[in-house]
Amino acid sequence: MEGLVSKITTVVLLGAFSVFAALTLSDSLVTNKIVTDKNLATLLVFFGALVLSIIVVVAVFKAVPKKDNGIKLKGSSNKLNQDFGTEKEPKNKNNLIDIEGDDNIANQDIR
């Protein structure tokens, strides 16, 4: 629910910014004879401000790191989830490869 409220608030703020920009900048476009029609100038500025503000919001959302919710997954390769304090002792204390039924020299205890 919290994510939905922030998205709705973001959309409302983007719309308000775009309307404000359209109302304030369209007059200067007509006055400076860049655009001859006031309605066209208002639409151009509105959509331009909307696109620019969407780009800024997307960039900010990507730059802000996501909140850690504390869920730890077993077997994850993430370094934060690894337990470095409990190193298990090997089953074979002679450090020999323990494969039953194999006649490989590496598996024989030669003394």
How many whole angstroms separate alpha carbon 41 and alpha carbon 29?
6
Dihedral, CA atoms, 100, 105, 106, 110, nearest 10 degrees?
100
3 has pLDDT over 80: no
Scored b (16 or more CB within 10 A) or e, 43-64 reads: ebbbeebbeebeeeeeeeeeee
Residues 91/98, Cβ–Cβ less than 8 Å: yes
How many whole angstroms separate alpha carbon 78 and alpha carbon 55?
31
The answer to whether residue 19 is domain-embedded is yes
pLDDT in tens, 31-46: 888 888 888 888 888 8
- Provide the pLDDT confidence category of residue 105 given band limits of 50, 70 and 90: low
87 has pLDDT over 60: no
The answer to whether residue 20 is domain-embedded is yes
Which contacts (CB < 8 Å, 24+ apart) does range 23-26 have? 25/49
pLDDT in tens, 10-26: 878 887 888 888 778 88
The answer to whether residue 44 is domain-embedded is yes
| pTM of full prediction above 0.85 | no
The answer to whether residue 96 is domain-embedded is no
28: domain range?
2-63
How many structural domains does the chain have? 1
The answer to whether residue 55 is domain-embedded is yes
The answer to whether residue 99 is domain-embedded is no
The answer to whether residue 92 is domain-embedded is no
Report the percent of the chain where pLDDT is more than 70: 54
The answer to whether residue 98 is domain-embedded is no
